[in-house]
Amino acid sequence: MPRLFSAIEIPESVAERLILLRSGLSGARWIDPDNYHLTLRFIGDVDGATARDFTLALSEIVAAPFELRLNGLGSFGGGKPRAIFAGIAPSDGLDTLRRANERAARDGGLPPEGRNFKPHVTLARLRGARPDAVAAYLERQGGIAAETFTVSRFVLYSSRNSVGGGPYVVEAAYPLEN
Ligand code: ATP
Ligand code: MG
């Protein structure tokens, strides 16, 4: 069964800036820059019919291109930090596209997304990183991530069946047009 999620790709110019952040934190497994992405809707492992329905619903989305801005760094996991991410500044265009992706998932027969949407680009997975070391890293590096880019398409990615993780494969791409 394919494991799928829809996402926005991170342009190479932005990835080049994010690469500068890949050091100085022990316990971090830095994500390969080729795998940087912003998840719109995680689908998970689904059967072929569900995958087809979701893909079809995605192809019917009509939305305009928009700008996104990276907005500092943060961590997930609180006192047991498990990931470092670059945040994304609030964006109406992104909200619209995310809602359209949620509708497409429902049209594909998937249950509603229960989690709050927190747009981000994961930069590292953490194992056993100390919270104070994470805080120091964020303090040191946080100013760097402030890049703007234009989103003119989104994609359907597959990750490794069941287990997840990269390399992610672009299964389909959906242009955004005015
Ligand atoms: P790994 O789990 O091996 O670290 P991964 O999380 O990148 O890799 P997947 O588990 O296939 O790979 O997830 C693909 C994308 O969907 C990632 O951006 C991940 O953060 C996101 N994601 C995974 N599970 C969920 C979920 N339950 N809800 C929302 N987003 C999710
Ligand atoms: Mg995962």
Give pLDDT tens digits for 129-154: 999 999 999 999 977 667 899 999 99
Longest dimension (CA), the chain: 47
Reduced to 3 states, what is the DSSP secondary structure of residue 92?
helix
Q: Is residue 2 exposed (0-12), middle (13-18) or buried (19+ Cβ within 10 Å)?
A: middle
| Torsion angles phi and psi, residue 141, rounded to 5 | -100, -15
How far is residue 120's CA from residue 85's CA, in Å, rounded to a whole number? 6
* Confidence at residue 143, expressed as pLDDT on a 0 to 100 scale: 75
Residue 42 Cα to ligand 1 midpoint, Å, equals: 7
- Give 24's contacts (C-beta < 8 A, 6+ positions apart): 137, 140, 141
* Confidence at residue 147, expressed as pLDDT on a 0 to 100 scale: 82
How far is residue 171's CA from residue 166's CA, in Å, rounded to a whole number? 14
- Give 99's contacts (C-beta < 8 A, 6+ positions apart): none
Locate all alpha helices (DSSP H) within the chain, ordered by sequence: 12-19, 48-59, 92-107, 131-141
Ligand 1: residues whose CB is within 6 Å? Answer: 3, 5, 39, 42, 115, 122, 125, 159, 164-165
Structure token digits, residue 150: 């234009």
Instruction: List the shell of residues around ion ligand 2, using CB closer than 5 Å.
Output: 164
Q: Is residue 49 exposed (0-12), middle (13-18) or buried (19+ Cβ within 10 Å)?
A: exposed
Domains and CATH numbers, the chain: 3-175 (3.90.1140.10)
Q: 55-73, pLDDT tens digit by residue? A: 999 999 999 999 999 999 9
Q: Which ligand is nearest to the CA of 3?
A: 1
How far is residue 8's CA from residue 117's CA, in Å, rounded to a whole number? 14
Mean pLDDT for the chain? 95
Q: Spell out, as residue ranges, where the chain has pLDDT lower than 50.
A: none
